[in-house]
Copies of this chain bind each other. A is one copy, B any other.
Amino acid sequence: MSTESRGQHARVLDVLGLAITAGEHPPGSVLRTDELAESLGVSRSVMREAVRVLESMCLVESRRRVGVTVRPTTEWNVYDPQVIRWRLAGADRPRQLRSLTVLRSAVEPVAAGLAARNATPAQCAELTECALGMVATSRGGQLEGYLVHDIAFHRVVLNASGNEMFAHLGDLVAEVLAGRTHHRIMFEDPDPAAVTLHVQVAEAVREGDAARAEELTREITVGALRELDILAP
C-alpha cells in the first residue's frame, strides 16, 4: 500500500498523513515545506500539493513566515475517509473503532427505519440475499465470507435509506466491521442471535415495517457496543 505507483503525490500525502495522525509531529509542531520536500526526495511542487490537501483536511495550517503547523486533533476532518484510514492504521485504532461504533449505533437504526419505507424491490432482494449469505457462512470458521456479506448487508441498508448522508457512511461501517473481525483473532463463529437479527431486519424492510426494522437494528448495534464494553447500564 505504501509503495504504490500512484505517483509521488499520493505517496508523500500518505506518508505525511500517517505521520501526523500517528502522533509524530504532535499538534502545534511546525514543519517546513522545503525541509519536508528534501527529506522525502520530492520537489516542492509535489510537497505543496500534499500540504494543500492536508490543509483541506484541517490536519495542518500553512502560514507565511511560520511554516506548516499541525492543528489540534479536535479540528481534524474526522469524517474524511482518508483520515479515518490513517487513524485506523495507527495506534489509537481501538479508540477510533469505539467512536465509529457509537456513531453506527445512532445512525443505523434510523437508516433501517427509512429503508423499510424507501427500499426498492431490488434492494429488498439484495438485502435478503445478503442475510442468507450471512446464514450460510455463519458456521465453520468462514469468517471472511461472513464479513463480506455483513458489510454488503449494512451497505445496502444505508443506501436504501434514501438519505445521502447515511449512504456515505457505508465505507465507515465497512471499516468497523472489518476491524472487528480482524482484531479479535477470529476463531469463534459469529453470534447466532446476531445472524437471526439480520435476517429479521431484511424481513422487516421487505414488509415495510419501519418500527420493527429500526428496533431490530438497534438490537444489532447494541450488540456491537456490548462487544466493545460500551454499554448503557
What CA separation (Å) do A113 and B9 show in the bound complex? 43
Interface residue SS majority, chain A: helix
List A34-84 residues whose CB lies under 8 Å from chain B.
Answer: 45, 48-50, 52-53, 55-57, 74, 77-82
A24 close to chain B: CB less than 8 A:
no
- Across the interface, name the chain B residue whose C-beta is closest to A100: B165
- Among B45, B82, B163, B168, the residue within 8 A (CB) of A56 is B82
If A79-B168, A81-B77, A168-B78 touch, whether A110 touches B102 (CB-CB below 8 Å) is yes
A96-B105 Cα distance, complex, nearest whole Å: 23
Identify which of B48, B79, B109 contacts A79 (C-beta below 8 A): B79
Bound-state Cα–Cα, A117 to B102, Å: 14
Cβ of A167 and Cβ of B49 under 8 Å apart? no
Tell me, yes or no, whether A1 is within 8 Å of chain B by CB.
Answer: no
Q: Does A164 contact B (CB under 8 A)?
A: yes
Across the interface, A45 reaches (CB within 8 A) one of B45, B78, B81, namely B45
State whether A102 touches B163 (Cβ < 8 A): yes
Q: Considering the complex, which residues of chain A in the window 87-134 have a beta carbon less than 8 Å from any beta carbon of chain B?
A: 99-100, 102-103, 105-107, 109-111, 113-114, 117
Q: Can you name the residue of chain B whose Cβ is closest to the Cβ of A107? A: B106
Contact between A102 and B165, CB atoms less than 8 A apart: yes
Q: Which residue of B lies closest to A168 (CB)?
A: B78
| Given A77-B79, A77-B168, A106-B166; 6 other pairs, CB 8 A cutoff | A50-B52, A52-B52, A53-B53, A79-B165, A102-B110, A102-B166
30 contacts between A and B (CB under 8 A): A45-B45, A45-B48, A52-B52, A52-B53, A53-B53, A53-B55, A53-B56, A56-B56, A56-B80, A74-B167, A77-B79, A77-B80, A77-B168, A78-B164, A78-B168, A79-B79, A79-B165, A79-B168, A80-B80, A99-B163, A100-B165, A102-B110, A102-B163, A102-B166, A106-B106, A106-B109, A106-B110, A106-B111, A107-B107, A117-B232
